Amino acid sequence: MMFVTAAAATSAAAAGSYPSLSRSRRRRLTVALRSDDVSVTPTTTILTKLKYECATPLPLLQQVANNMSADMRAGLGFGPGPGLPMIPSYVENLPTGNEKGLFYALDLGGTNFRVLRVQLGGKDDRVIATEFDQVSIPQQLMFATSHELFDFIASGLAKFASKEDDRFHISPGRKGEIGFTFSFPVKQTSIDSGILIKWTKGFAVSRTAGRDVVACLNEAMERQGIDMRVSALVNDTVATLAGAEYWDNDVVVAVILGTGSNACYVEQISAIPKLQGHVSSSGKMIISTEWGAFSNGLPLTKFDREMDAASINPGEQIFEKTISGMYLGEIVRRVLLEMAEEGGLFGKSVPQTLSTPFILGTPDLCAMQQDCSGDLHAVGSLLYDKAGVESNLSERETVLEVCETIVKRGGSLAGAGIVGILQKMEEDQRGLIFGNGNRSVVAIDGGLYENYPQYRAYLQDSVKELLGTEKSNNVVIEHTKDGSGIGAALLAASNSIYNQDL
């Protein structure tokens, strides 16, 4: 079974791995802070203002959810305004469980690429066997030509394919088929083609922008003598939905909450004006919302605006910068730096290391929030190790309050985003999500959601608060671990050129 409970402790979010949690610490989702009256200081003034500006009361969360729904509609072509990107995935046929045979997946989304194979046995046997490998991409290839990068990837795939054991076998007379997870901006034109818009994540590969990345990979495989073809081009969120839905037909939404964030859902073709005239046998298609670009009505602070201005993409991906693992630690660092400079937090001198961007990662915030000791020793040790900060108990308590404020906002807003998607689906088809006896599953993957219990709890509480008891009983939030790899292989199977033979 792919799912574990949503309360269970993958990409690690920004700057390191999340800490493992003891059983007692898993139970305790917040650190009890002293409520003693304290005198007003510059630090307390900054903290009070931060809490006020980051607050997520129910009316604000409801407005965020409503804005998300409205921006989704605009992005699909209903207007007014540009709305969210709402990228058609051209995934119209999800796995049914009937798929049989050997299928591969290739996941390229960063400085490593992953290859996976799965032997499918149909309704009775489902997944018979899986195997995967991960290959590091040499830094020089991140700045090489398209030919060189894709030849390296195809070479790694060839080595992996050559190690098939007797658990894996392709049907005679068939060409191998691959699900290609490509997590860079593309303009998708069909299930098995997409034009690269631009490289991101530190890549600057020449002679690729404007080209079909599937053609690039197919040509490289041909040069390497690999008898395979790409049957499905997807992003990691779409692959996660497919992987989760294979095990549970009630999955309608998938969310990635890791270093970055995105969400996708199953939409009716008739509700996508920008695909007017598109013929679909299923009448449905997975839409990638690209919700990281959402910004309508978010509670932002000067620290968010300053971080955004200093980023490589100012003015873009504001929702992602508010809720995802890449940025939560950096927001906290900026708050602590101002408290140190203007409020004397950590004494008279400001540790120079604290001025280093991204010196605090989101896993560090998580580690500090699991500290239940009387003197918050782990908080003090981490502040010293990471930022060169000497701290007393009162200062450590202040640090935890800052962490709590930023993490609560992030988790609550992510929950509001999920409700916005569910609302939009329900408005289009009354009873689809909240109908009597219906069960709608939101599958979530990513290291931030998996490993940060406070964040996870705030997200879940936000969804329940917004929906109310009755409606929330219809919605199940599940953690699906590493679903995107097998999901891509399953999409290769469900979109196989040999499906008529199944």
Extract the tokens encoding 218. 């197919």
For residue 80, what pLDDT is reported? 63
Q: Is 236 a catalytic residue?
A: yes
Q: What single-letter DSSP state applies at residue 112?
A: E
**Strand ranges for 159-234 from DSSP E:** 176-182, 186-190, 193-196, 228-234
Extract the tokens encoding 3. 């799912």
Q: Exposure pattern of 106-142 as b/e (b: 16+ CB <10 Å)?
A: bbbbbeebbbbbbbbeeeeeebeebebeebebeeebb
Is 498's pLDDT higher than 90?
Answer: no
pLDDT in tens, 199-208: 887 788 998 8
Mean pLDDT along residues 183-192: 88
- Pick 485 or 31 by higher pLDDT: 485
Contact 171, 222 (CB under 8 A): no
Which sign does the torsion angle of CA 151, 154, 160, 165 carry?
negative
Q: What is the mean pLDDT of the chain?
A: 88
Q: In which band, very low, low, confident or very high, does the pLDDT at 79 lie, cut at 50, 70 and 90?
A: low
Phi, psi of 112 (to 5 degrees): -125, 155
C-alpha span between 478 and 456 (Å, rounded)? 11
Find the range with the poorest average confidence among 10-14, 89-93, 180-184, 266-270.
10-14
* Domains of the chain and any CATH numbers: 43-87+248-481 (3.40.367.20), 90-234 (3.30.420.40)
Q: In which band, very low, low, confident or very high, does the pLDDT at 483 lie, cut at 50, 70 and 90?
A: confident
Q: What is the DSSP string of 11-49?
A: PPPSSSPPPP--HHHHH--S-----------HHHHHHHH
Q: What is the 3-state secondary structure (H, E, C) of 97-134?
A: CCCEEEEEEEEECCCEEEEEEEEEEHHHHCEEEEEEEE
Mean pLDDT along residues 349-370: 94
For residue 43, what pLDDT is reported? 95
Contact 58, 463 (CB under 8 A): no
Residue 212's Cβ-count burial label (10 Å; 0-12, 13-18, 19+) is buried
Contact 466, 61 (CB under 8 A): yes
pLDDT in tens, 315-326: 999 999 999 999
The closest alpha carbon to 345, from 304, 387, 315, belongs to 387
Phi, psi of 346 (to 5 degrees): 75, 20
What share of the chain has pLDDT > 90, as a percent? 68
Let me know how long the chain is: 502
C-alpha span between 163 and 46 (Å, rounded)? 59
C-alpha span between 125 and 361 (Å, rounded)? 42
Residue where the block lists tokens 């007692």: 24
Name the active-site residue from 201, 274, 302, 481. Answer: 201
Name the active-site residue from 236, 364, 371, 445. Answer: 236
Find the range with the poorest average confidence among 76-80, 222-226, 304-308, 491-495.
76-80
Q: Is 37 a catalytic residue?
A: no
For residue 90, what pLDDT is reported? 94
Is 29's pLDDT higher than 60?
Answer: no
C-alpha span between 134 and 131 (Å, rounded)? 11
User: Which are the contacts of 18, defined by CB distance < 8 A and separation ≥ 6?
Assistant: 12, 363, 366, 367, 447, 450, 451, 452
Find the range with the poorest average confidence among 24-38, 334-348, 359-373, 402-416.
24-38
For residue 400, what pLDDT is reported? 98
Contact 28, 372 (CB under 8 A): yes
Extract the tokens encoding 157. 């795939």
For residue 7, what pLDDT is reported? 31
pLDDT in tens, 391-445: 999 999 999 999 999 999 999 999 999 999 999 999 998 888 887 778 999 999 9
pLDDT in tens, 247-301: 999 999 999 999 889 999 999 999 999 988 888 888 999 999 999 999 999 999 9
Is 16's pLDDT higher than 70?
Answer: no
Contact 457, 198 (CB under 8 A): no
Is the bond preceding 80 in cis, omega lying within 30 degrees of 0? Answer: yes
Contact 398, 47 (CB under 8 A): yes
Paired residues of 304 in beta bridges:
none
